[in-house]
Amino acid sequence: MSKTNPVAQMYPVLLISMIASISFGVIDALNFLLIEHKLESFWKKFKFLDDKTIPLINGGIAAAISILIAVYIEHYLEVHYTLFKHPAIDATGVIIGTVSVILLNKLYTKYCPVVKKKIVKHQEKQH
């Protein structure tokens, strides 16, 4: 009869749970990164929104889209795996996902010449 270590059994459960949380952070950051600029110009047309409230509504829309997608991912993982739900796992996963998107975006904009040219042109237009 082989004994299995209960702590060793928890590692895959924690890993899958962390993947679910990281996916939410990545989706949320990507939504915010990709839709913020487009939505900002759209919201500026409305007189009741200002420079302080536009980021709030953009963040709310990005979070709502992220929650919808992340719930489907989490449901899929729950069907196939055992998940461990804890706020610390969720918070850590969201931070890891968001930081990952920021780092990948910085690398992409720094080393991709086409994007670099567009950024320089955009900055020149603003000045």
Question: pTM for the whole thing?
Answer: 0.72
* Angle subtended by helix axes 53-80 and 6-43, to nearest 10: 150
* Burial annotation 67-89 (CB, 10 A radius, 16+ → b, else e): eebbeeebeebeeeeebeeeeeb
Q: For 1-127, list the strands marked E by DSSP.
A: none
CA 37 to chain centre: 16
How does pLDDT run across 89-110, given as a tens digit for each residue? 889 999 999 999 999 988 888 8
How does pLDDT run across 53-89, given as a tens digit for each residue? 888 888 888 888 888 888 888 888 888 888 888 889 8
